[in-house]
């Protein structure tokens, strides 16, 4: 973790567009360590796209890339996602 690390709040707009819901209060379960955490609290790294990592074990939980019109989403590291009621 270094000063380039952002958090889930930084991708709130993109996630809201993809999932059609406010996602920073959704709770995700890391498939690697089983920790449950709000999406707003995950670690986010910005490069060509965004890489989201578990704040407990730092495993990758999601990768998001957009090219301006399409979106490509890899959620292999996420076991479950619970959206608030």
Partner 1 sequence: MTALVGRLTWRVAEIAEVRTETPTVKTLALDVEDWPGHRAGQHVDIRLTAEDGYQAERSYSIASAPGGDRVELTVELIEDGEVSPYLTDEARPGDLMELRGPVGGYFVWDPDPGGPVLLVAGGSGVVPLMAMARQRAADGDPVPTRLLYSSRSLEDVIYRDELERLEGDGFDVLHTLTRSQPDGWTGYSRRVDPELLAEVAPPEFALAFVCGPTPFVEAVATALVALGHEPSRIRTERFGPTGG
Residue ranges binding partner 1 (CB under 8 A): 1-10, 12-14, 16-18, 20, 22, 24-25, 38-41, 46, 66, 68-69, 71, 84
Residue 34 vs 84, nearer CB to partner 1: 84
Query: Backbone phi, then psi, for 32, in 5-degree steps?
Result: -85, -50
Q: How many Cβ atoms sit within 10 Å of the Cβ of residue 30? A: 23
Q: How far is CA 26 from CA 32, 36, 42, in A?
A: 18, 10, 11
Minimum Å distance from CB 14 to partner 1? 8
Minimum Å distance from CB 22 to partner 1? 4
């Amino acid at each position: 973790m270094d000063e380039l690390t952002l958090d889930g709040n930084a991708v709130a707009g993109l996630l809201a567009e993809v999932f059609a819901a406010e996602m920073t209060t959704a709770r995700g379960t890391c498939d690697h360590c089983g920790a449950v955490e709000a999406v707003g609290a995950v670690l986010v790294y910005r490069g060509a796209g965004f890489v989201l990592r578990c704040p407990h074990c730092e495993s990758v939980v999601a990768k998001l890339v957009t090219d301006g019109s399409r979106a490509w989403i890899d959620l292999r590291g996420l076991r479950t996602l619970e959206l608030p009621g």
